Amino acid sequence: MTIQEAQQQVDTWIKTTGVRYFSELTNMTILTEEVGELARLMARTYGDQSFKESDKNRDLGDEMADVLWVLICLANQTGVDLTAALEKNFDKKSVRDADRHKNNEKLQ
């Protein structure tokens, strides 16, 4: 699935099953919540925190997909073409960071 197809599928789902989009501000808050859930799982899986019983059956991919879903909702609501935005972001990083990371001793 392309990013454009994902944006369309989310839009179709929202308009049929989800009834309507939540407000942009509500979705921004939900995005923050979903990122927090992903961070919690990352801290327990790759960091030093111990798992709580309620965290043990969480799926990393599912948590990432939740973040992506809400981000796509926000893009759809605000008229952002995520494919074009990501391509533009790659161009920006390629120019700005062309040598930046190559010269970082911490990455060698």
CATH, residue 84: 1.10.287.1080
Q: Sorting pLDDT into bands at 50, 70 and 90, what band is 23?
A: very high
Q: Is residue 98 part of a domain?
A: no
Q: Is residue 65 part of a domain?
A: yes
Q: Is residue 37 part of a domain?
A: yes
Q: Is residue 100 part of a domain?
A: no
Range of the domain at 35: 3-92
The pLDDT of residue 69 is 98
- 83-103, pLDDT tens digit by residue? 999 999 999 989 888 888 888
Q: Is residue 104 part of a domain?
A: no
Please tell me what DSSP assigns to residue 17.
T
Domain count, the chain: 1
Q: Is residue 33 part of a domain?
A: yes
- Distances 18 to 11, 12, 23 between C-alpha atoms, Å: 9, 9, 13
Distance CA 2, CA 8 (A): 10
- 32-48, pLDDT tens digit by residue? 999 999 999 999 999 99
Q: Is residue 103 part of a domain?
A: no
Name the 3-class secondary structure at 51. Answer: coil
Query: Measured between alpha carbons, how far apart are the two ends of the chain, in Å?
Result: 35
Distance CA 77, CA 58 (A): 29
Contacts of 28 (CB under 8 A, 6+ apart): 74
Q: Is residue 54 part of a domain?
A: yes
